[in-house]
Structure 1
Amino acid sequence: MKKINTVSLIFLVLAVIGWCYSGLSLNFLMNEILTRFIRNGLIVLALLLPIAAGMGLNFAVVIGALCAQVGFILVINWQVYGMPGLLLAVMVSTLLSLVMGYFIGLGLNRVRGREMITTIIIGFLGVSLYQLIFMVGFGTFITPGNPDIILTRGIGVRDMVDLAPFRNIMEDIWLLEIGMIKISVFMILFILLFCMLISYLMNTRLGQQFKAVGEDSDRAEMLGLNVNALRIKAMIISTVIACLGQIFYVQNIGMLGVYSAHKNSEIFSCAALLAGGATIKKASVWNVIFGIFLFHSLIVVSPHAGQKILGNPALGEYFRSFLAYGTIAAALIINIKRDLWKEKKNSATGNFVNSNSICEGLKLTYTKVVHRIYGKTPI
C-alpha cells in the first residue's frame, strides 16, 4: 500500500478547515483555483526536468519569468499590440530564455551537488541586473520608443505598465460558463498539452538519459553519456517553459508590475510542487496538478479564514508567506531525514553483504541503466 505524502496530507487538511471557516462558496473557490492553474501551471511544470536530471529544485525559474517581462516591455516600447504583439513578445522572450538557460546550465555544471543554493543566487543576480537595466538603462543608454512607459524624469520604466491590449487574448477562446464557474477551455487544454508533452519526453530516450543522470551522474558518465550537455538541456527547457508560464500569468492579469510581477514566482512554484507530494529528487506531472490545486486552495481561503477566526485578514496574508517557505523547509527536512534513514539502514545491513552480492548488484544496476537509455540489454 502506497503511503500518503505527509506534506500533501497537511495541506489537504488545512485547506478543508480553512474553506469551512472562510465562508467562501464552492463556485468562487473553483473559479479562483482554475484561474491560478492557468496562471501558474507552466511555471510549476518547469521544475520537473531539473529534478529528473538530479539538480533539485530550480529556483532560477525566476530568470525565465524575467525574460517574459523583458519581452513584454520591449514589445510595448515598440508599440506592437494585440495578437501580433503577443506573438512577438513570445518570440523575443523565448529566444532570450534559451540563451539564459544555456548559461545557467553552464554555471550549474561547475557546482555539482550545490545546484539549489546556486540557483537562488543566480535568481538574485538576475533580478538585480534586470532592475539596473530598466531603472537606469532606459532613458540613458537605451532610447525609449514609447514615452508612456517612461517615468516623468525621462529615466527608468514605470512601476506598472498597462497590458490592456493583451489581456485575456487567449483566455476568451472557447470560454465556457457552467453556472457561476467560468472555464477557459483553450488555456486549460494548452497547459494539459504541455503536461502530456513533458510526460512523453520523460519516457523518450532523452528523458531516460535525464533520469540516468539524476540517479547517478558518475555511472551515467561511465556509460558514455554527456552529463554536462544533458544538464544544460534540462535547464534550457526549464527556463523556456518558465518564460511561457510568466507570459500566461501577466497577460491574464492585464497589468505588468515591472519590478514586482516576478517576485516569489520561484518560491510559490516550488512550494506548490512540494505540496503535491513531490520531493527534491522525484516529481511527476500529477504532483504539479495536485500541488497547484492544494497550495492555491489554501492561499485563497487563508485571508478569509483569518478574518473569520481571528478578526484580522492580515494574519491570513502573513500565513501565505509562512506556507510557501514552510512547505519548502518541511519538504527538505523530510527528504533529508528519509535519506539519512536509508543510509543508516544500508550501513546497518552492510556487514552482511559479501563481495559477490555487491558485484551482482552493480551488474544489475548497470544492465537497468543501459536498457533504460538505449532500449536494449548490454551483451
Structure 2
Amino acid sequence: MSDLVKKNERKFNLGDFVLDNIVTIIFWVFIILGLALAKSVTFNWFLTELSNRFYRNAFLVLSLIIPVIAGLGLNFGIVVGAIAGQLAIILVRYYYIGGFGGFLLCMLIALPIAMLFGWLTGTLYNKTRGQEMIASLIVGYFGTGIYMFIVLFLIGGVIPVQPDHPIILPGGVGIRMTVDMDTIKYALEGIWQIPFAVFMIVASALVVLYLVWSQYIRKLKPGQARLSNFKFALYAAIAVVILAVFAYQAATKGRLTMVRKVPMGTVIMIVLLAVFTKWIMTTKLGQDFRACGQNQYIAESNGINVDRTRIIATIISTVLAAWGQIIYIQNIGTLNVYTAHNQIGLFSVAAILVGGASVNKATVSQAIMGTLLFHSMFILSPEIGQAVFGQAILGEYFRTFMVYGVIGLSLGLYVWKANKQSKLTLEPRVAENARDQVINSGTTR
C-alpha cells in the first residue's frame, strides 16, 4: 500500500486537527458569534460587503502562494509590487488615459517595474537566506521610503510636469494626497455583471459536477488519491444546500437577491490566477519551486539553480502583487498616494494564514477561505463593538489586534511544531549513537 493511501487512512485525531487549524477555528467562532450578536447586520448587507472586499483583495492574497512553496516564507515584500502598480496608475492618470484601455495600460506599465523590483528583492532574499521574512519587511519599509522620495520630491522637482495638472500639488512639486481614478474606476468590474443569486446557483452546480467527475470518472495519476466518502458527501451536501437556498431566493425574490451583482471581469481574473497557480506547479519550474521549498541543498545537488528559482518566484509574486494593487484601486475608485500600499503586506499575509496556510505550506483554497474569513472579521468588528460595548471604535482596535495576533500566533505555532518535529527526528539518532558508544566501549575493554 502506498504512503499516500496510508496517510489518508490514518486515524482522525481531534487534538491535532484543532492545533493545526486553531487560527481558522477562532475566526469561524468569531464570525458565528458576530452574526448572532450584531442584530443590526442583515445577511444580504453582510454578503454585499464581504463580496466587495473579496473582489478587491483576493488577487493580492493569491500572489503570496508561490513564494511560500518556493521556501521564501510569507512575502511581506509584496508592498514593493503594490508600489509598482501605484506608479503605473500615477503615470496613466497624468496623461488622462481612462476606461478599460487605461486599466490595461496600468498593468502593462507595472509589469517591467515590478519585474525589476522583484529581481532586486529576490537577489536580497538570496543574500539573507533563512531570514527572508524579516528581509521582506525591511524591503517594504525601504521601498516605501524610495517611493515617497519619488512622488514628493522628484516629480516636479527633477521630473518636469505641468504645475497646474489636477494630480500635482499647488506648488508644482509632488503628487496630491489622493488621485481620482476617473473612468478607470470600475473599468474591470463594469464589463460584465450578473446577479449574485444566479452566480451562486451556477457556481454550486459546477462544484457538484466537478466533485462527481473527480470522484467517479477522473483517471488518477500516480500519487493522486480520491476524496474519502465522508469528505465527498460533506462537500457535495454543502454545494447542494447552497444551490437550493439561492434557487429558492431567486424564485421568490428574497433578500439574498439584493446582494450586489457579481463583477465577472474581476472574478475571471481571480479564477485565472488560481488556475495559473495550480498549473505552474505541474510544470518543471513548479517542481523546482517545490524542491527548493522542501530542501535547498538536495535541490542544488539535483542540478536545480536554487538562487535563480527563488528569484523567479519573487518576480512572479511581485508582478502579481502589482496587478492585484491595480485591481484593488480601480475597485476603490481613489488612489491614496501615500498610504494605499502600507498595509497590503500585513493584511494579505494575515488573510492567507487565517485560511490555514503556514510559513512553508499554502494552497489556493487556503488563500480563498482566508480572504473570506479575514474580511468577515473586518466587517463584523465595529458592529460587535457597537452591539456589545456601545462603542464601534472598540471593534476598530480589535481589528488591529487580530491582524498582528494572527501573524504572531501562526508563526509561534510554526516554530513550536518545527522544534517538536526536529526533536522527534533527532531522538532516534541520539539513542542509536548511545547504543554504538556502549558497544564500542564494551569491545575495547
When normalised by structure 1's length, the TM-score is 0.91
The counterpart of 1:236, out of the listed 312, 315, 339, is 315
Q: Structure 2 unaligned segments of length 5 or more: list them.
A: 1-11, 198-256, 434-445
12, 20, 44: which one aligns with 1:27 = 44
Separation in 1, partners of 2:143, 2:98: 27
Which residue matches 1:329? 408
Task: Give the partner amino acid of 1:194.
Answer: L
Partner residue in 1 for 2:275: 196
In 2, distance between residues paired with 1:172 and 1:198? 26
Identity of aligned residues (%): 38
Residues 98 and 182, structure 2, Cα contact 8 Å, conserved in 1: no
Is the CA contact 2:152–2:175 (under 8 Å) kept in the aligned structure 1?
yes
Which residue number in structure 1 is paired with residue 351 of structure 2? 272
For 2:149, the equivalent position in structure 1 comes to 132
Q: Which letter does structure 2 place at the counterpart of 1:171?
A: E
2:85 to 57, 68, 76: 68
String of CA shifts for 1:257-289, please: whole Å, max 9, x gaps. Answer: 000111211000000000000000111101101
Residue number in structure 2 paired with 1:89: 106
Letter in 2 for 1:180: M
Measured after TM superposition, the shift of residue 85 of structure 1 is: 1.8
Q: Which moved more, 1:142-151 or 1:335-344?
A: 142-151
Would the alpha carbon gap of residues 206 and 22 (structure 1) be closer, same or farther in structure 2, given more than 3 Å must change?
A: same
Q: Name the SS of the counterpart of 1:139 in structure 2.
A: helix
1:160 paired with 2:159, answer no
Return the letter of the residue paired with 1:232: I
Structure 2 residue identity aligned to 1:271: A
Cα distance in 1, alignment partners of residues 115 and 154 from structure 2 = 23
- Of 89, 95, 103, the residue aligned with 1:78 is 95
Tell me how far 1:203 sits from its aligned partner: 2.0
Partner of 1:307: 386
> Quick one: distance in 1 between partners of 2:266 and 2:63?
17
Q: CA deviation at 1:127?
A: 0.4
Q: Is the contact between residue 100 and residue 188 of structure 2 (CA under 8 Å) also seen in structure 1?
A: no
> Shift of the alpha carbon at 1:347?
2.1
Query: Any idea what the Cα deviations from partners look like across 1:102-144, whole Å, max 9, x if unmatched?
Result: 1111111111001000010010000011011101111110112
Once the two structures are TM-superposed, the CA of residue 352 in structure 1 deviates from its matched residue by 4.8
**In the aligned structure 2, how far is the partner of 1:147 from the partner of 1:173?**
29
Q: Is residue 22–residue 302 contact of structure 1 (8 Å, CA) maintained in 2?
A: no
The within-5 A match list for 1:354-365 is none
Once the two structures are superposed, the pairs formed by residues 1-379 of structure 1 within 5 Å of their partners are: 1=12, 3-4=17-18, 5-23=21-39, 24-145=41-162, 147-177=165-195, 178=197, 179-181=257-259, 182-352=261-431
Q: Hey, what does 1:376 align to over in structure 2?
A: none
Q: CA-atom RMSD, angstroms?
A: 1.3
1:58-77 deviations in Å (ceiling 9; x for gaps): 00001110111000001111
Superposed CA offset, 1:305-336 (max 9, x none) = 10111111111111111111110000000101
Deviation at 1:84, TM superposition (A): 2.3
Q: Which structure has the larger Rg?
A: 2
Question: Any idea what SS the aligned residue of 1:161 has?
Answer: strand
Task: Summarize deviations over 1:73-105 as a string: whole Å, max 9, x none.
Answer: 011112222222222211111111011101111
* Residue pair 2:115, 2:319 contacting (<8 A) in 1 also: yes
Which of 216-225 and 2-11 deviates more?
Answer: 2-11
- TM-score normalised by length of structure 2: 0.78
Q: Secondary structure at the match of 2:335?
A: strand
The number of residues matched between the two structures is 354
